[in-house]
Amino acid sequence: MKIEKSGFSLNSGDKTFLIEKRIRLLELIDIHGSLSKAAKEVPISYKAAWDAIDTMNNLSDKPLVISSTGGASGGGSALSDYGKEVLQTYKILQSKYTQFLDTLNDALGQGGVQNLQTIERISMTLSARNQISGVITQIKRGAVNSEVYLQTKSNNEITATITSDSIENMGLNIGTKAIAIFKANAVLISKDLELKISARNKFVGEIIHLTEGKVNSEIVVAIGDDRIVSNITLESFRELDMKYGDKVMAIVKASSIMIGV
């Protein structure tokens, strides 16, 4: 196992400015002089391509892509001189990045690479209490929204509903390592293990931690090696009369789950 080259990106402030798919889009615009042709070859939707160009132009000091309409040729898109300079700079950085990874793989060896992956996951800073890592096993695409299926280390399956544009922009595919992210107040808890409910994510587990607050209470449920944290009202907590070791069902709507990579 080694560190693979993937997801090389440049940021402007706290915003992602250039990622590989956007660079590919810029390269193809430079070749074809057409946003629609470039989008088709990437491949991404025309809308996703338009949004990507709009984002890059907004984050850039100067426009990277100049679009024209009308005229004998019917209009088109082309890289500005500044856009060509940025594209060339990216290619140089990417080359140096690849060289760096080759050197790093030689220095770390197998164990070091696995340690780095763990460090990366635990270094994420998010307000959401639930962050469960896994691998994407299936993607069901829709015109607007798509379903992403994530298999966790305990073989639990988490389903998330996100926009189809997000799937393209994030480069999600089957086999991609990702993180399911959701807030504790999005998790419902039931002691009825046979409860019929339309929510896609229903996990039966054991309560391993309880914290009773003045307004809300926190419940931690072990689902195999995965942990799900729920935040419910004190009134609900007392009505359910939950105790350590109780078997409960943790319920999360697919629309409440975000996907991070």
Q: Is the peptide bond before 63 cis (omega within 30 degrees of 0)?
A: no
Which residues, including other chains, have CB under 8 Å from residue 122's CB and lie 6 or more apart? none
**Do both 46 and 107 map to the same domain?**
yes
Higher pLDDT, residue 62 or 68 = 62
Cα(156)–Cα(205) distance, integer angstroms: 11
- Domain span at residue 197 reads 182-252
Q: How many domains does the chain have?
A: 3
124, pLDDT greater than 70 = no
Given this model, what pLDDT does residue 79 score?
A: 94
Q: What φ, ψ does residue 21 adopt, rounded to 5°?
A: -65, -35
Higher pLDDT, residue 62 or 34 = 34
DSSP secondary structure, 222-239, as one string: EETTEEEEEEEEHHHHHH
The amino acid present at 94, given as its one-letter code, is Q
Cα(188)–Cα(234) distance, integer angstroms: 13
Given this model, what pLDDT does residue 82 score?
A: 92
Compute the average pLDDT of residues 42-53: 86
**Do both 191 and 163 map to the same domain?**
no
Higher pLDDT, residue 123 or 134 = 134
Where does the pLDDT of residue 29 fall: very low under 50, low under 70, confident under 90, or very high at 90 and above? very high
Q: Token match 């590989």: residue?
A: 20
Compute the average pLDDT of residues 52-57: 81
Kindly tell me the burial class for residue 25, based on how many C-beta atoms sit within 10 Å of its own C-beta (0-12, 13-18, 19 or more). buried
**Do both 94 and 32 map to the same domain?**
yes
Three-state DSSP class for residue 129: coil
Given this model, what pLDDT does residue 74 score?
A: 40
Given this model, what pLDDT does residue 3 score?
A: 46
Boundary (domain end) residue, out of 119, 141, 171: 119
**Do both 93 and 161 map to the same domain?**
no
Q: Which token pair is 205?
A: 């587990």
**Do 219 and 229 form a contact (C-beta atoms < 8 A)?**
yes
Given this model, what pLDDT does residue 37 score?
A: 93
Given this model, what pLDDT does residue 15 score?
A: 46
The structure's pTM equals: 0.56
Of 51-55, 107-111, 123-127, where does mean pLDDT reach its minimum? Answer: 123-127
Averaged pLDDT of the chain:
81
Given this model, what pLDDT does residue 70 score?
A: 47
50, pLDDT greater than 70 = yes
Q: Rounded to an integer, what is the distance from CA 232 to the centroid of its chain? A: 26
Which residues, including other chains, have CB under 8 Å from residue 111's CB and lie 6 or more apart? none
**Do 223 and 239 form a contact (C-beta atoms < 8 A)?**
no
Range among 15-19, 53-57, 119-123 rated most confident: 53-57
39: left (phi over 0), alpha (psi -120 to 50) or beta: alpha
Given this model, what pLDDT does residue 30 score?
A: 94
- The CATH number of the domain holding residue 212 is 2.40.50.100
**Do both 170 and 243 map to the same domain?**
no
Compute the average pLDDT of residues 4-21: 55
**Do both 91 and 17 map to the same domain?**
yes
pLDDT in tens, 80-112: 999 999 999 888 887 887 777 777 667 766 555
**Do both 76 and 49 map to the same domain?**
yes
Given this model, what pLDDT does residue 189 score?
A: 92
**Do 133 and 177 form a contact (C-beta atoms < 8 A)?**
yes
Q: Integer distance in angstroms from the first to the last C-alpha of the chain?
A: 19
Q: Which token pair is 65?
A: 């892509």
Range among 42-51, 85-94, 156-165 rated most confident: 156-165
**Do 242 and 206 form a contact (C-beta atoms < 8 A)?**
no
- The CATH number of the domain holding residue 41 is 1.10.10.10
Boundary (domain end) residue, out of 119, 140, 167: 119
**Do both 61 and 142 map to the same domain?**
no
2, pLDDT greater than 60 = no
**Do both 170 and 241 map to the same domain?**
no
